[in-house]
Amino acid sequence: MARTASLSGFPEWLPQERLVELHVLDTLRRVFELHGFSSIETRAVETVGQLLRKGEIDKEVYGLSRLQEDEEEARAAKGDHHALALHFDLTVPFARYVVENAGYLSFPFRRYQIQKVWRGERPQEGRAREFTQADIDVVGDGELPFRYDVEIALVIAEALSALPIPDFRLRINNRKLAEGFYRGIGLDDTAGVLRSIDKLEKIGAEKVAELLKSELGASDEQARLALSLATIRTEDTSFVDQVRALGVSHELLEEGLSELEQVIEAAVQRAPGKVLADLSIARGLDYYTGTVVETVLVGHDQLGSICSGGRYDALARKGNRTFPGVGLSIGVTRLVSRILSQELAAASRSVPTAVLVALNNDDSWTGAQDVAAQLRARGIATEVAAKAEKFGKQIKFADRRGIPFVWFTDDDGKHQVKDIRSGEQTDADPASWSPPAEDLNVRITTA
């Protein structure tokens, strides 16, 4: 069970909890690299102007200043776009990184990035002030083929499937589909419609219809059609016929339908049961231009989205060059917190160590280090006891630490190893002995 952090919103893990987090991080790295994504790391600090260039809420941004800063400097920093602040996501720093390093990157550039971010919002389950994100993106120079939208969804489905988490669904929509549909029914304020539709799960269809009519001037028929689109959810490409059955036509709508159909069609083949065409999804109104994704754990809807993102045709600009991209971001800390709080997975032991080399006496320490070196050379995590206490105490120490094996060497140089769980003790050679495969490394077991 995860502990309550002493400083709200800044989680810390016990050693066995950290092993679960490391398993999640290592799994994501492995899957991302198998698909050819290169790891980058950007600085934790950006200028305020850079962080707020997309109109983000500045009250959520943590400013950076010296403790000894005088009052005049502090007042100037509050309105200074050159003042420094901690990044609140990884996309804004990545956009800067692409612009500054465009001459050194090969496009399309495939990147993954796993780092801490900081966001000054009210802490609650699934939301922290300091948390780890894992992002993958593909960025082009001038253009980016739509096939990458399909690939990104499949990579994320594979990565999440490899984690010790409950079943999940990638809920996918397409901004072109939604905007084309709204224009086709005569609602030109597409961003306003999307904002209203985004509230559907929170306030219900009746209140959303009232918003569409009172704030956007929609007729009863326009509100009905907008809500009819938002209620379409399919696990296959049948959503295409359902949309067309609504009798709306627009060039942008057809383009979005085709793109979403390609994503869902590929997912049905390569990630069956993991992807859902959900035409209610509306996110990043001033950001995303095509595919949009939100991911939920089945049966854990109150946790919110654990992975989100989509296509942005202008991630960054440099002169007359535009860098379009598509990417998704996994909330690692949100996932790990849920895994621990619900006891969905646990480490097989609390330390990496598989063997403790016991001491006969203080003079045997050097020999014990030789044994440990031979074991470590073959990838066996090994500690040497610090004191030559009675063997019973050394065994209890290993047991308390969660170390499964204790190594003994007598005065004649004979070696034995004891499995302290079963009590079995056998002869062993430090040059060839290995623990059973299941004990060599810490394993993450699921409930």
The answer to whether 409 is a known ligand-binding residue is: no
What end-to-end distance do the CA atoms of the chain give, in Å? Answer: 13
The answer to whether 211 is a known ligand-binding residue is: no
Ramachandran area for residue 138 (φ above 0: left; ψ -120 to 50: alpha; else beta): beta
The answer to whether 283 is a known ligand-binding residue is: yes
Three-class HEC string of 335-399: HHHHHHHCCCEEECCCCCCCEEECCCCHHHHHHHHHHHHHHHHCCCCEEECCCCCCHHHHHHHHH
The answer to whether 111 is a known ligand-binding residue is: no
As a whole number of angstroms, the distance between CA 150 and CA 263 comes to 5
DSSP notation for 194-213: HHHHTTHHHH-HHHHHHHHH
Helix (H) or strand (E) holding 171: strand 168-174
The answer to whether 51 is a known ligand-binding residue is: no
In the structure encoding, which two tokens stand for residue 210, read together?
């009232």
The answer to whether 124 is a known ligand-binding residue is: no
The answer to whether 89 is a known ligand-binding residue is: yes
382-384 vs 321-331, strand pairing mode = unpaired
In the structure encoding, which two tokens stand for residue 364, read together?
């045997």
Q: For the packed helices 175-184 and 251-270, what is the interaxial angle rounded to 10 degrees?
A: 150
Q: What letter represents residue 266's amino acid?
A: A
Instruction: Cis check for the bond before 108: say yes or no (omega within 30 of 0).
Output: yes
Interior angle at CA 243, CA 242 and CA 246, nearest 5:
95
Rounded to the nearest 5 percent, the helix, strand and coil shares of the chain are 40, 20, 40
The answer to whether 287 is a known ligand-binding residue is: yes
The answer to whether 16 is a known ligand-binding residue is: no
Annotated binding site: 89-91, 119, 133, 137, 283, 287-288
Annotated binding site for L-histidine: 89-91, 119, 133, 137, 283, 287-288
